[in-house]
Structure 1
Amino acid sequence: MAFASAPTPSSAAHAGADGGRFTDYPAAMASCTVIFFMWGFLTSLNDVLIPHLKALFTLDYTQAMLVQFVFFGAYFLMSLPAGKLVERIGFKFGMVVGLLVAGVGAAMFWPAARWQNYDLFLAAFFVLATGITVLQVAANPYVGLLGPERTASSRLTLAQTLNSLGTTLGPKLGGMVILGTILGADQISKLSDTQLAAYHVQQAQLVQVPYLVLAALLVLLALFVWWVRLPSRLGNVVAADRDHSLWDALRVPHVAYAVVAIFCYVGAEVAIGSFLISYLSQPEIGNISEAHAADYVAYYWGGAMLGRFIGTFLLARFDPRKLLALFAAIAGMLVLASMLSYHGLAMYSIVAVGLFNSIMFPTIFALGIERLGPLTDKASSLLVMAIVGGAVIPYIQGALADHLGIHHAFVLPLLCYAYIIFYGRSGSKIRDVTANQG
């Protein structure tokens, strides 16, 4: 993010002899895989919390999508400060701070549920996301440096796979614990004031215990990372290039197009996941309970995990630009098929989008920083900030759902995939980069 790394002398000296080693620090690698799993698990739980909070506070879709607006807005606001923090204190202690901050955010769900205060819930989401942002900044480069450069991609793939496993299990377990007793609007309208108050207390308690357990796990993991003898700084962490600004990177055409593409991709992926439970529980779509619909959210994120394995094989053999455009086109067609149909076809086509989301983020990111030289660091920061699409797109889709209905609101992700097709076919092409570096 805001720093670059050089190989350690020992790894450089022995790269030729034992460059096939997976890692030089097994304890550090094990800790990082657990961290990747935890932040994937916590992020995907938002998809379960949104329908829960919508029912608990009688929110419209726009108000419910403030969850993602606040959560992913933290990425935009806190990514640069997080980079400066990690640059100062090192990767290990950056992860400790990130875990502790995330633990505080998870613990804040207890008073938010106890007092049934939606604003406090939103504050808890922001603090939780701030901790995850610090983890993202610290853990990604840290994993890459935990062994020979030759096997860095294998370590990162393993860590990302654990992250995907977390996003798959989060909705499954969260749906079982949190969504099992949600009543429909017609059922709630029949409750007396006393029964309604008791129902709200019960629903609040369903959130308190799981997030308190998660807070405890995050703090224990932070203590473990702090206690175990893990290397804090691997290689030489140097300050970011100060001869260029973010604006210099944004002036490069394929970088600017990539920023919009990341914005659209994350926005579309998060919006679909955020609406899945509400969408599939509609009578004309799946006509299933919200707890059952949470299983399909797990399939949506699980499809992305499976797609990463398939995509790794395909990207090694085909032009990544064409493959990106193809995957975006298929995802768009699946969204359109869901919008134009009902029942089984509408259900399975929207869930299948997850499979084709799989390669988009890493491919867009890699193409966006291609052949940038000294501007690579600045372009990477811009692309991370573009994750704010996960805040903006779901919020706008919520407004569309309130006015057009949830079925037709999926036109917004459809437009996002249309842009990604353009990016793969044209926007990602390298223009004159050197002219923009002066």
Structure 2
Amino acid sequence: MQVTNQLGDLHEVPTEQGKGNKYLLPFILVTLLFFLWGMAHNLDSILIPHLKKACQLNNRQSTLIDTAVFFAYFVMAIPAGMIIKKFGYKNSIVTGLLVFALGAFLFVPAANTRAYELFLFALFVIGCGLTILETSANPYAAILGPPESSSKRLNLAASFNGLAAMVAPVVGSLFILSGKNYTPEQMEAMPELERSAYLMSEASSVKLPYIVLGSVLLLVAVIFIFMKLPAMKPEHTEVEVKPGFFSVLKFSHLSWAVVAQFFYVGAQVCVTSFFIRMAEQGAGMDEKTAGYYLGIYGFLFMAGRFIGTFFLKYVKDHVLLSIYCVLSVILCAVAIYGSGIYVIYALGGIGFFMSIMFPTIFALGIVDLKSNTETGSSWLVMSIVGGAILPYGMGTLIDMKHDDIQAGYIIPLICFLIILYFGLFGYKVKTKAT
């Protein structure tokens, strides 16, 4: 028997025990993709303080790392949706993996030349690959099973994105961060040859992790090439008129989801990008210790995903989203006005409560879009550009406040208030495109 799910794609619903197992292996493979792009994003949190040091940047310049990655989402979201429509989910995933791998390998010439512009280009290429992957994998994970459990399934897959949030900072702290920090006065007093050798050593430490990451991506791409995946194609019994790219925003819940996703991604990137600087300045930690605490933050983020997925069995997704937003606002206030280790505890708590927001907003945003799912997904992925814009604003604010990192956390606080509105009101399906 076949039924049409809330995304408008057809599933084969098992009529006998064990029939649905054909979705298990594809779901595992797609879940692996969530882990891999989680590694890329969470290594950025290490790169920001690291390249700030290696390339001698200010706070605003260092956030261009986020801008390079997330601006790629904005540029590639529409082409990614077109790729999916023309070539299908599987070929789109393989394309995303190959582009992602290319960006990772570009870190080698960037490190060899210590050229910040080349680092940014490599990150932009990575962002293009991630856009194709996320535009493909998010809706594909949502439709690999019964429609009524799509939100829980998407949160489960995204939990492994949370696992990467724990693993990546540990990997980055071990292989990228040196623990050597010098004041501007010390750098100025350092002999030129010693200074150049130090900066080149700092830049070169990124090569091994990104070579390994690129190699793994190539291997996974080969697996996907030879793996047979279920084809999920819309087969509607009634003729449905598709709205254009902008007309699909007549779905009011999609429009609000795009806004909420913009501010969510901006908030998440703001929190993680300045975590290490916050730990150094607010709690007096050294660079490596701060990196390991970022790993603990990642563990809490991952735990929040798993625990949130469990709670979604008993609590409506928009209700849980709203509760988590309220708690995140409170914790942001603690991060701004608190002191010492309590600031780090607050950031860890924010990580826990942020954890379900992206997949929950995504799932709520594509409800009842039917054959417009790909277009809606493209809009939701485009909204990830919030991660390019808001951290840059936060870095600018911090520089204006004379390097006061805590003052910058007013930005994510405002973001959570906007997401709260979506969880309370904006998620409701009111207007359907015709």
Q: Distance in 1 between matches of 2:197 and 2:149?
A: 55
Q: Distance in 2 between matches of 1:406 and 1:290?
A: 15
String of CA shifts for 1:269-300, please: whole Å, max 9, x gaps: 11100110111111xx1111111111222222
Does 104-113 or 362-371 show the bigger shift?
Answer: 362-371
CA-atom RMSD, angstroms?
A: 2.7
- Conservation of the 8 A alpha-carbon contact between 2:162 and 2:305: no
1:162 and 2:166 equivalent?
no
Distance 1:371 1:158, change over 3 A: closer
The 5-angstrom pairing of residues 17-416 of structure 1 reads 17-18=16-17, 21-24=20-23, 26=25, 28-143=26-141, 156-186=154-184, 187-226=186-225, 228-231=226-229, 234-236=231-233, 243-282=242-281, 285-372=282-369, 376-404=373-401, 405-416=404-415
Q: Distance in 2 between matches of 1:254 and 1:426?
A: 9
Alpha-carbon deviation of 1:150?
8.2
Task: Give the % identical residues.
Answer: 35
String of CA shifts for 1:370-423, please: whole Å, max 9, x gaps: 455565554333222111111111111011111022110111111111112222
- Conservation of the 8 A alpha-carbon contact between 2:44 and 2:66: yes
- Conservation of the 8 A alpha-carbon contact between 1:19 and 1:151: no
Q: TM-score, normalised by structure 1?
A: 0.88
Does 94-103 or 180-189 show the bigger shift?
Answer: 180-189
Alpha-carbon deviation of 1:37?
1.8
Alpha-carbon deviation of 1:212?
1.6
The residue identity in structure 1 corresponding to 2:68 is V
- Conservation of the 8 A alpha-carbon contact between 1:279 and 1:407: yes
Q: Distance in 2 between matches of 1:261 and 1:321?
A: 12
Distance 1:76 1:348, change over 3 A: same
Q: TM-score, normalised by structure 2?
A: 0.89
String of CA shifts for 1:322-362, please: whole Å, max 9, x gaps: 33222111101111111111111112112210011022223
Does 317-326 or 271-280 show the bigger shift?
Answer: 317-326
String of CA shifts for 1:85-122, please: whole Å, max 9, x gaps: 23222332222221111111001001011011111100
Q: Distance in 2 between matches of 1:153 and 1:424?
A: 14
The residue identity in structure 2 corresponding to 1:99 is L
Q: Flag structure 2 segments of 5+ consecutive residues without an equivalent.
A: 1-6
Distance 1:343 1:269, change over 3 A: same
Distance 1:402 1:172, change over 3 A: same
Alpha-carbon deviation of 1:238?
7.1
Does 97-106 or 371-380 show the bigger shift?
Answer: 371-380
Q: Distance in 2 between matches of 1:260 and 1:145?
A: 23
The residue identity in structure 1 corresponding to 2:167 is L
